[in-house]
Amino acid sequence: MRKKIIAGNWKMNLKKEDAFTLVDNIVAGYQRLGLSENKIMLLAPSFVYLNFAQEKIENKEHLYIAAQDCSVHNSGAYTGEVSAMMLQSIGISYCIIGHSERRQYHNEDAEILYLKIKQAIANQIIPIFCCGEDLETRTQEQYFDFIKRQLETCIFKLEEEDFNKIIIAYEPIWAIGTGKTATVAQAEEMHAYIRKLIEEKYNKQIAHNTSILYGGSVNASNAKNLFLAQDIDGALVGGASLKYEDFVQIAEAL
Ligand code: PGA
């Protein structure tokens, strides 16, 4: 059975004391989250807080710390980079890869993202692979082809055994940080399409077992409806994940 996942992408936000308070609150309110084997929570703070956050959640089952990115390299003279090997060595087991902000501001293309995914998997880290079209692609009704290409040029190059470890996040760029969430119908249509593509490429069981998260202006009031859709297995939350009460309410809705 595929997992339901609520993930908070903190991006480049929060000073140390605020980041720590947020993790502390989530740990203190742990019971409210209703986590289990089939419903997990991921928190993705900046690299500088990963180790501390990891220590704070250590004995909380089904709650995990995720990185927001990793290097294409394992180690070496790559100033400023952080490798999947390092993440694994501090106990990190999830990593966001291919967020649209990385694609846009750091020119990360399918080839680079594929290498990052291979690095993550080689270090026992589960990649959360992000895909999503921009407004122009949506307006021109090219979004199905666009997403298909994003999958085909990257994660569909993985062997079945590795693809099994992937989480997908569909995040239409026009909905990220804009307050303009995709409608449930728009999101479900794309999630069902992605699942169909997985079935065609791999098989029905893998398609059934792959968690596909929605991201883009998810908040405490729209989460419940999104989660009713059968192919939406949770959310990758940006802005609302920085506010304890909002984030917990999203988790409760799942
Ligand atoms: P948002 O960001 O929830 O602030 O729209 C989502 C994301 O970028 O993952």
**pLDDT tens figures, 26-61:** 999 999 999 999 999 999 999 999 999 999 998 899
| 57/199 Cα distance (integer angstroms) | 35
**Range 222-236 average pLDDT:** 97
For residue 177, what pLDDT band results from cuts at 50, 70 and 90?
confident
- For the annotated catalytic residues, the residue numbers are 99, 171
Average pLDDT, integer, range 100-120: 97
| SS3 call for 58 | coil
Confidence of residue 178 (pLDDT cuts 50, 70, 90): confident
CA of 141: how far to CAs of 47, 104, 224, in Å? 37, 21, 27
Mutate to test the pocket of ligand 1, among 135, 222, 236, 243 (most ligand atoms within 8 A of CB): 236
Dist. CA 218–CA 33, nearest whole Å: 17
Pocket mutation for ligand 1, best pick of 218, 241, 246 (most atoms within 8 Å of C-beta): 218
How many helices (H) and strands (E) would you count in the chain?
13, 8
**Contact between residue 86 and residue 125 where contact means Cβ atoms under 8 Å apart:** no
Both structure tokens of 24: 């502390």
Q: What is the pTM of this model?
A: 0.97
For ligand 1, residues with CB inside 6 Å are 9, 171, 176-177, 215-218, 236-240
Output the residue whose Cα is nearest ligand 1's atom 2: 238
Q: What is the pLDDT of residue 181?
A: 87
What's the CA-to-centroid distance between 44 and ligand 1, angstroms?
A: 12
Q: Whose CA is nearest to atom 7 of ligand 1?
A: 238
- Where are the extended beta strands (E) located within 136-232? 167-170, 212-215
Mean pLDDT of 210-221: 96
Which residues are paired to 69 by β-bridges?
A: none
- As a whole-number percent, the residues of the chain with pLDDT over 70 amount to 100
